[in-house]
């Protein structure tokens, strides 16, 4: 158990819908990262928040948005869902602001299926 929690574990929804994925980082970690993992694309970095502020954006679509709240939990919002958005979404946390200086602890993931 990494100490990072993600809800829900599974999500099935229809095209055009909007969903929210939730992540709680490990106690004491200030950074939260979101990743998308699909079979053919590996782990794609989406976005990084540190202590409530956005630090970096990766390959995140405009239909996707995220935020980190004062209690440090984070939410990833996916809207106008398409079939291609079906994937495993991981949240990870680390103690520091630098993504490569600290090990990341990954949550169990949310499997999103868009039908």
Partner 1 sequence: GQQVMQIPQYQHVQEGEDFTTYCNSSTTLSNIQWYKQRPGGHPVFLIQLVKSGEVKKQKRLTFQFGEAKKNSSLHITATQTTDVGTYFCAGPENRDDKIIFGKGTRLHILP
Q: Which spans of this chain sit near partner 1 (rule: CB under 8 A)?
A: 2, 33, 35, 41-45, 48, 55-56, 58, 90, 92, 98-101, 103-109
Nearer to partner 1, 17 or 59 (CB): 59
Residue entry with tokens 């782990």: 43
Nearer to partner 1, 46 or 72 (CB): 46
CB of 109 to partner 1, least distance (A): 6
Alpha carbons 48 and 67: distance in angstroms, whole number:
9
């Amino acid at each position: 158990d990494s100490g990072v929690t993600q809800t829900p574990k599974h999500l099935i929804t229809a095209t055009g819908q909007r969903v929210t994925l939730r992540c709680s980082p490990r106690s004491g970690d200030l950074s939260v990262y979101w990743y998308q993992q699909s079979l053919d694309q590996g782990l794609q970095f989406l976005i990084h928040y540190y202590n409530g502020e956005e630090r970096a954006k990766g390959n995140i679509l405009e239909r996707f948005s995220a935020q980190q709240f004062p209690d440090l939990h984070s939410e990833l919002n996916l809207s106008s869902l398409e079939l291609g958005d079906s994937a495993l979404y991981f949240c990870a946390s680390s103690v520091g602001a630098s993504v490569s200086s600290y090990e990341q602890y990954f949550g169990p993931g949310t499997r999103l299926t868009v039908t």
